[in-house]
A = this chain, B = another copy of it.
Amino acid sequence: MLKRFVSFKAAGKLKLADLNKLTINAKYAVRGKIPIRADELKEQLNDKNNGLPFKEIIYANIGNPQQLDQAPLTWYRQVLSVLQNPKLLNAQIDYPKDVIDRAKTLLENVGSVGAYSHSQGNPHVRKSVADFITRRDGFPSNPSDIFLTGGASAAVSYLLQVLSSSNTSGFLIPIPQYPLYTASIALNDAVPIGYYLNEENNWSTDPTQIRELINENNEKGIQIKALVVINPGNPTGSILSYDNIVEIIDIAAEHGIAIIADEVYQENVFKGEFVSVKKVLSKLNELDPEKYGNVQLASLHSTSKGVSGECGQRGGYMELVGFSKEVRDIIFKLASINLCSVVSGQTLVELMINPPAPGSPSYDLYKSETSKINKDLQTRADLLYNSFIEMEDITCNKPMGAMYLFPKLNFTPNSYSKLFKSSEQMDSTIDETYCIELLESTGICCIPGSGFGQVPDTYHLRTTFLPPGSEWINKWSKFHNDFVKKYKN
């Protein structure tokens, strides 16, 4: 054992002032204050004498279906098990023929899931994604435009990083938005420019408002780089109309603003129809290439949502249309620095967008499992929605898609003066107070609307409708009654 007498005076540790301010200031509500408190309470529940008025935490803060009761699709997991252990091909195992065939095709074309892939993602999987987009939209898609990414989050991170050239780079984002966008904008020292979705009209977009924002911000010297649309909407649960999408593309074409189309919930549709921005752009481009030929679109998809719900597998893709070679090369370089997205996730993307065909051995089971998931989601959405609209001083739009409801708490300073006073004392917003009390009373964890953005002096919550059963909803209703009793004048 060494004995040392070195003479120096020890220096202190790194302090907050030594750190990157952008990382200090970025906020991410989905895993922020309320969920952190939920984790503490969960820890406390392990203690027999915890004194808590509930037995479990209901995580309604995050769209994480398999954390709750959603089972993974058999089709996915059978193929993935063979990719992880190709020796299963020689085992006595009763996998359907199409599972075996697909696994063999992927093994031939991808090789070991333990090898780094091409930085942009495996070429075979990219070709399959392009074929899927072509089928979905009726317009061609090119494998060289596809980047396989670790969920959609990695794609957003690359795009925002490349497009933020200075602190005068602006990004138009819907309000309410998914906080990944404000967080990524903050990390890149860019300017978030919120355009309000119209709650009274099913959270539709208002092109007049967006044009005004562009003019205002251009005058201030802000160069707007991209406009984000989230369709189906997170946290709103709404679906954009065809006309809404046309209006957005017009704006992008006129102002040279790229479109980031976050379409990860494209399979989660209960009401209305999902149309991809790519499809509408392709139609417009066919009609008038001079006007629409320069439009730059990045559209994102993921294995985390839809009927897949494979959040932990980190599969996703981004299709880049209309961007210059320079932009694509730099995105490729960023992907290269990260080496590659997880290869099993890449293969899962292929399984998602190229599922068993009707008549194939896996088809019936696949169909029945996905139908059940879809039906469950719709039932749960309706159940929660119907409860919300019964609650005093809550209004809520009827869910059309995605996995969330974003109900409005109609609490005014006049009618809820005690609530406003108590929130002020606790240095808490009205919606935060509601969420904290909900959590502490029932174990239900949802997120205040302030984490997503809302019209000033309005208060919302975002909650998934994923937790099973009606018991938690009944608890919520009861809590709400008590809350109103406690605080309403």
Instruction: Identify the interface centre among A80, A92, A111, A294: most chain B CB within 10 Å of its CB.
Output: A80
A146 at the A/B interface (Cβ < 8 Å)?
no
Closest chain B residue to A112, Cβ basis: B66
- Min CB distance A34 to B, Å, is 13
A282 within 8 A of B: no
How far is the CB of A225 from the nearest CB of chain B, in Å?
7
> Are B67's CB and A78's CB within 8 A?
no
> Does residue A374 face the partner (Cβ distance < 8 Å to B)?
no
Task: For the complex, give the distance between the alpha carbons of A304 and B133 in Å.
Answer: 33
Inter-chain contact A183/B14, CB cutoff 8 Å: no
Given contacts A66-B112, A84-B84, A309-B114, contact A24 B342 (CB under 8 A): no
A85, B92: Cβ atoms closer than 8 Å: no
Give complex CA distance A174, B415 in Å.
Answer: 65
A2 lies within 8 A of chain B by Cβ: yes
Binds B, one of A319-327, A353-361, A378-386, A429-437: A319-327
Q: Is the CB–CB distance between A26 and B337 below 8 Å?
A: yes
The reply to whether B163 and A14 form a contact with Cβ atoms under 8 Å apart is yes
Q: Do A13 and B324 have beta carbons less than 8 Å apart? A: yes
- Give the chain B neighbours of A13 by CB distance below 8 A: 256, 294, 296, 322-324
CB proximity to B under 8 Å, residues A87-107: 87-88, 91-94
Comparing A231-239, A247-255, A468-476, A479-487, the segment that makes contact with chain B is A247-255
Report how far A204 CA is from B111 CA in the complex, Å: 38
Say yes or no for A456: interface residue by CB 8 A criterion. no
A45 on the B face (CB < 8 A): no
Q: What's the Cα separation between A287 and B6 when bound, in Å?
A: 12
Q: Which of the 9-residue segments A147-155, A266-274, A406-414 touches chain B?
A: A147-155
Residue among B118, B253, B327, B330 making CB contact with A10, cutoff 8 Å? B253
Please determine whether B10 and A290 come into contact, CB atoms closer than 8 angstroms.
yes
**Complex Cα spacing A317 to B43, Å:** 23
**Does B23 contact A334, Cβ atoms closer than 8 Å?**
yes
- Interface check A62, CB cutoff 8 A: yes
Apart from A16-B326, A39-B118, 12 more pairs, CB < 8 Å = A10-B253, A14-B225, A14-B323, A30-B336, A31-B119, A62-B116, A64-B115, A66-B112, A77-B87, A80-B85, A81-B85, A153-B339
Interchain Cβ contacts under 8 Å between A and B, 13 examples: A4-B246, A6-B250, A6-B291, A13-B294, A14-B323, A16-B324, A16-B326, A28-B336, A81-B84, A113-B313, A116-B312, A157-B338, A313-B343
Query: Residues of A at under 8 Å CB distance from B?
Result: 1-4, 6, 8-21, 23-24, 26, 28, 30-32, 39, 62, 64-67, 72, 74, 77-78, 80-88, 91-94, 111-119, 150-151, 153-154, 157, 161-165, 180, 183-184, 187-188, 223, 225, 246, 250, 253-258, 283-284, 287-288, 290-294, 296, 304, 308-314, 322-324, 326-327, 330, 333-334, 336-345
